[in-house]
Amino acid sequence: MFLQTERMRAAGEAEFLLSTSRFTDAYWAMSQLVAHQTSNGTNLCPGDLLGSGTLSGPERSSQACLLELTEGGKRPLSLPNDENRTFLHDGDTVIMRAYCEQPAGPRIGFGECRTTILPARQL
């Protein structure tokens, strides 16, 4: 998971790597997720994408949630451009890239998922 602040984008700076995680740290195996979904009547089809939730690992570098990385906002995260974050700010962009691979097998990925936090709408 990467973070790029509005200031980083304006300065042409690359995104900052927040964490890396592995599916091997997941609590449930994919076969268990599929069994759970189908036992509740979900009609799974080839090509369906299953969301596993946040996959955090035991190391600090594998904590996949900003709340975990900042210990609930108590320990600000220092970015390379001297900005700090405890929570996301308006204009921050969160980027996720994921893939799966095994020895002697093809690498399969979904590319990049990116979103920018917009200010709350005024009612």
Q: Is 66 contained in some domain?
A: yes
Q: Is 121 contained in some domain?
A: no
Q: Is 104 contained in some domain?
A: yes
- How confident is the model over 5-45, as pLDDT tens digits? 999 999 999 999 988 888 777 888 888 888 888 898 888 88
Q: Is 89 contained in some domain?
A: yes
pLDDT value, residue 99: 85
pLDDT value, residue 93: 97
How many domains does the structure of the chain reveal? 1
Buried b (16+ CB within 10 A) or exposed e, 35-68: eeeeeeeeeeeeeeeeeeeebbbeeeeebbebee
pLDDT value, residue 28: 83
- How confident is the model over 39-96, as pLDDT tens digits? 988 888 888 877 777 777 777 777 778 888 888 999 999 999 999 999 999 999 999 9
The two tokens of residue 17 are 């790597």
Q: Is 47 contained in some domain?
A: no
CB 79 within 8 A of CB 85: yes
Q: Is 80 contained in some domain?
A: yes
Distance CA 33, CA 30 (A): 5
Task: Say what the pTM is.
Answer: 0.76
Full residue range of the structural domain in which residue 13 is found: 2-21+56-116
Q: Is 12 contained in some domain?
A: yes
